[in-house]
Amino acid sequence: MKNILTAFLLILYTVASAQDKKEMKVPPRTVRYDLYVADTTVTYGKKTKRAIAVNGQIPMPTLTFTEGDTALIYVHNKLNEETSLHWHGLFLPNKMDGVPFLTQMPIKPHSTYVYKFPIVQHGTHWYHSHSELQEQIGMYGAFIINKKKEWDIPTVPIVISEWTDMKPEEVHRRLKNADDWFAIQKGTTQSYAEAIGTGHFKTKLSNEWKRMNAMDVSDVYYDTFLINGKNQNVQPQFKAGDKVRLRIANGGASDYFWLSYSGGKITVVATDGNDVEPVEVDRLIIAVSETYDVVVTIPENKSYEFLVTPEDRTKSASLWLGRGEKVSAKKLPKLKYFAGMKMMNDMMDMGGNMVEMEGMKMQNQVMDMNTVMYPEVTGEEHRKGKAKKAEMPGMQMPNDQSMAGMNMGTDNSDIVTLNYAMLRAPKKTTLPAGPWKELKFDLTGNMNRYVWTLDNKTVSESDKILIKKGENVRIILYNNSMMRHPMHLHGHDFRLVNGQGEYAPMKNIIDIMPMERDTIEFAAREPGGDWFFHCHILYHMMSGMGRVFSYENSAPNPEIPNPKLAQRKLFSDDREFHPMARIGIESNGSDGQIMLANTRYRFTTEWRVGFDKEMGYETESHFGRYLGRNQWLFPYIGWDFRKRTIDPSDKNIFGQSVAPGDNLFGQRNTKNFRQVFHLGLQYTLPMLIVADASVDHKGNVRFQLSREDIPVSSRLRFQFMVNTDKEYMAGLRYIVTKYFGLSTHYDSDMGYGAGLTLNY
């Protein structure tokens, strides 16, 4: 028997469609909003922090229009910095799209800018700042466009977001510097002690042998998660039997969210502002910037939890629908990172490329990310001695309803999870006749250095992609990285080729999981302009993961009076240099490092200063460029100066004389004095060991092996260095806070020391 709710919704669609045909013409109207952008402070987390509010609120006001209106939006920038607003998912004139330095110049501080455009579509959309990292601190809101005849059903616009007490610039800097403080906060460092304790030592070794860092699910640790600005949002106005439409937008900067409901099934009726045939599921995952319209039922006069859980499952947020006794949704179990790491090891080869599984077509989320990348098995990680049998449960093929794929546990085989293959448009979506242009992109990235690219090129390293008005564009995307990427096309909807033939759904966001190969198609029907195509994870986009589609023979954009200056500003995002510093102060002296690095280049200065002349002092500086997609190769030029005065009779802990002698190449050792320029080459070996070969201007050759931050336990790190000049070092560092640690090490020149290390 067909589900009653689904039948009801299909009837609503039929009636609404018939009414639309009979609808009388509505006189055109202009709807004006005044948006005042200003600094504020909030206490969403543990501390009071700066945020940006619009009209005094976070999220920004919900803007509501009806198809056929004209939007007139005055943006009054009260900030001391530039800003902009992008109307996500809207079809509008290019100069109104709101991308600073691409479609307009940014809105200057203490000035007003007017956006005006026709409303030619309907559905659930949202809007946000496209300037720097402002989206992370409050600049996001719902943009709702009603049909001329909407359903007569209670509706609640929902904007999901996350909050961190850390400044977003600091978040970005830490990601760029491979800082693992976020993993410590989440309890997901996947250290060797944890691997041994859970019987996954071999898995950890294999992971590092392939030069991979610990498995990552969501890049950033967040202090809290929000639904319309609240962690616990209560909507008590609903009663038993009510059907409620939730118009949901993921306004988060970097988190995917699982959506589940304690009152029964969730019926998906639209995505990215486009209707789909109703489909019932138990849960769905909403990608960054994606929107879904769903319908839920209030079974009894109780309060039912609509649970929002970030992909890493660290915390959650709740929307309570109805009044009375609370009915909680089942919490999602913790992730089993080592089981996921084992799967990940099998999916990647030694060259850092994803290995497509033979006979298994990865596309359209048909294989549930939750089971492919981090198998969902309830309970704790298995302890040593019990892991062999249980660490990889038998794979189950999907049930007929969910096509969720490879469910890795026995407790969730009946859970129906939405995937793109289940979405079907109510009307044919075939593109109009015209010539075709086909493009292929590999989604590429480097988690070690947090570089995200298409075909290993950032926005600033690539040319605009020229398209012609009237042609159809097919884009084939292959995710050759270990992260999901929500790819968004500005100003256009695209067909998501998903096995539904002529009824393929229309979207403007596609979530592409690792190892997936997906196809999208769109009709180039805009009159002209430059349109951004990018990953909507904010920190991926700022790292350069995108392209610009440009219509050929477009007229100059009057909003961009100086195109060359605008291009330099646009490119500056992924070219930005990020600083890092580590300063050790121990009983035998001080050693440390200062680094400036961007996508390709790095400048580093290291020093070691002893407390007496026998320990001496040394400074070494390198400037170079990373090569290759994985950036394992780093040629550099540098300068090295050192000096110390020693007693020739002194010996090190191995009984060797500390007096200069020959190095391992038979050349005179210069470890007591050198002042040289050198050329060198660093290469990352398996186990993440860095091999460094250099030759100075006097012909002396040095070869060195080193590694920093080997995760012994969740907070304890080991490092070592040894080279052919018979210099060596080994040490431990215990991370106390994000800026402070306790450290100890032995250095062949400076001896043993203990103290503290400051990190930035």
Q: Over the stretch 493-528, which tens digit does the pLDDT of each residue have?
A: 999 999 999 999 999 999 998 889 999 999 999 999
Average pLDDT of 273-284?
97
Q: Over the stretch 598-626, which tens digit does the pLDDT of each residue have?
A: 999 999 999 999 888 778 889 999 999 99
Q: How confident is the model at residue 15 (pLDDT cuts 50, 70, 90)?
A: very low
Collapsing DSSP to helix, strand or coil, 521 comes out as: strand
Contacts of residue 709, defined as CB under 8 A and 6 or more positions apart, other chains included, come to 180, 717, 719, 733
Q: Which is it for strands 303-310 and 266-271: parallel, antiparallel or unpaired? A: unpaired
- The dihedral region occupied by 417, where left means phi > 0, alpha psi between -120 and 50, and beta the remainder, is beta
Which residues, listed in sequence order, are joined to residue 286 by a DSSP beta bridge? 257
> Does an H or E element contain 340, and which?
helix 337-347
For the entire predicted model, the pTM comes to 0.90
Name the average pLDDT for the chain. Answer: 89
- Full set of structural domains in the chain with CATH: 30-148 (2.60.40.420), 151-353 (2.60.40.420), 428-557 (2.60.40.420), 578-759 (2.40.160)
Tokens read off for 390: 């249980």
Q: Sign of the C-alpha dihedral, residues 163, 166, 172, 178?
A: negative
pLDDT for 4: 52
pLDDT for 471: 97
Residue 337 clears pLDDT 50, i.e. is over it:
yes
Residue 407 clears pLDDT 80, i.e. is over it:
no
At what angle are helices 337-347 and 201-209 packed, to 10 degrees?
Answer: 40
Collapsing DSSP to helix, strand or coil, 335 comes out as: coil
Average pLDDT of 723-751?
93
Residue pair 618/610 in contact by the 8 Å Cβ criterion: no
Q: Over the stretch 444-453, which tens digit does the pLDDT of each residue have?
A: 998 889 999 9
In residues, how long is the chain?
Answer: 760
Q: Over the stretch 204-260, which tens digit does the pLDDT of each residue have?
A: 999 999 998 888 888 999 999 999 999 999 999 999 999 999 999 999 999 999 999
Tokens read off for 547: 């392209």
Best CA proximity match to 735, nearest among 707, 713, 752: 713
Residue 661 clears pLDDT 80, i.e. is over it:
no
**Helices vs. strands in the chain: H and E counts, helices first:** 10, 43
